Amino acid sequence: MGHPLNDKFAPTPLHGAAYAVAIREVGGIGEIAACDSPGRYAQVREKLDALLVFARGQDSPSVLAAYEYGVAKVDADLLGRMEIIENSRKVNAALATLPQPEGI
């Protein structure tokens, strides 16, 4: 792959298009946002793996590179979302035990 995932834009329009396809294939932004457990991640990751199998069958290095980028980007999105949700759970648990002022 070799492309940084945190750049503002994909390296080429083909990479951006592959990212869009990867988002669509996992069920859209809503599905990414709902990634809240390792089990759910594994289910979505299967779809990404299938997309890579498809890309490898296209006999085009540029298409494969684009899909590898798109899959890696969606994978990072999924893992990032799962991390946010887990952090939120921890914050809510801590909030339940944190002494808080009353009547301010």
- How far apart are the C-alpha atoms of 3 and 11, rounded to whole Å? 7
Which whole number is the average pLDDT over 90-104? 92
Q: What is residue 9's predicted lDDT score, i.e. its pLDDT?
A: 82
Q: Assess contact for 29 and 45: CB atoms under 8 A.
A: no
Is the pLDDT at 3 greater than 70? The verdict is no
Which whole number is the average pLDDT over 79-90? 95
- How far apart are the C-alpha atoms of 26 and 57, rounded to whole Å? 19
Domain count, the chain: 1
Range of the domain at 58: 13-94
Is the pLDDT at 59 greater than 90? The verdict is yes
Which whole number is the average pLDDT over 39-68? 96
- How far apart are the C-alpha atoms of 32 and 98, rounded to whole Å? 31
Is residue 66 included in any domain, yes or no? Answer: yes
Sign of the four-CA dihedral 62, 68, 70, 72: negative
Is residue 77 included in any domain, yes or no? Answer: yes
What mean pLDDT is reported for the chain? 93
Is residue 51 included in any domain, yes or no? Answer: yes
Is residue 80 included in any domain, yes or no? Answer: yes
Is residue 8 included in any domain, yes or no? Answer: no
Is residue 101 included in any domain, yes or no? Answer: no
